[in-house]
Structure formats: structure tokens, C-alpha cells
Amino acid sequence: MSLQVLAEQLKTSGLPVSYRQWEKGNAPAPPYLLYYEQSTESLMADGGNYYRYKRVTVELYTRLKEWETEQALESALAPYHWKKTAELWLEDQKMYMTTYEIEV
């Protein structure tokens, strides 16, 4: 699966989506999503590449703790193997960042 297909799936959450960052001055008001590739993993068998997948981080930014927004994102992530890995308060930006890791 490509990152473009993942982007389309993330959009089904109803949230604005961008790869890694927004262009300067173009970030929407929260809530919104950022996603980026962490790494590519290869499984080898019989001297060749048997299977390859990407580890991708999806970051949800919100002003407050928004259960419904998290649920919308988690519903969009349903086709993937995912886990929620962190929830941080970003004091300088006055918003929460909730991080999910998925494999595509």
C-alpha cells in the first residue's frame, strides 16, 4: 500500500491531512493530522525480499482532549495494524499531540 492510499484513508476521518508538516502559514486550526514514514522494513526468505512494509507515524493535533475526534481517526485506521503510542501536551503550542503508529 502506498502513502497516497493511506492519505486518502486518513481523509475519511473528516480531518485535514498533510504529509509531515503544513506549508508555512497554511496550517488549519486544530484538529488536524500529520503523517510521515518512519522506516521501511523488509522480510527476507529464500534469498529474496519476501515482504516489505512501511512504519508510519500519524499525529493528531487538538486544542482539547477530543474523544470523538480520536474515534473518527481510529475508525479511519481500522484497515491497518495500529497502536496509539503517546499523548503529549505541547505547552508552547497549547495543544495535544496524540501519536499513532501503523504499518502499511
Tally the residues of the chain.
104
pLDDT at 94: 97
Cα–Cα dist 38/9, whole Å: 18
Residues 6+ apart with CB under 8 A from 80: 6, 9, 102, 103, 104
pLDDT at 51: 75
Amino acid at 52: R
User: Which parts of the chain have pLDDT scores under 50?
Assistant: none
Reported pTM = 0.88
pLDDT at 47: 80
pLDDT at 1: 66
pLDDT at 35: 97
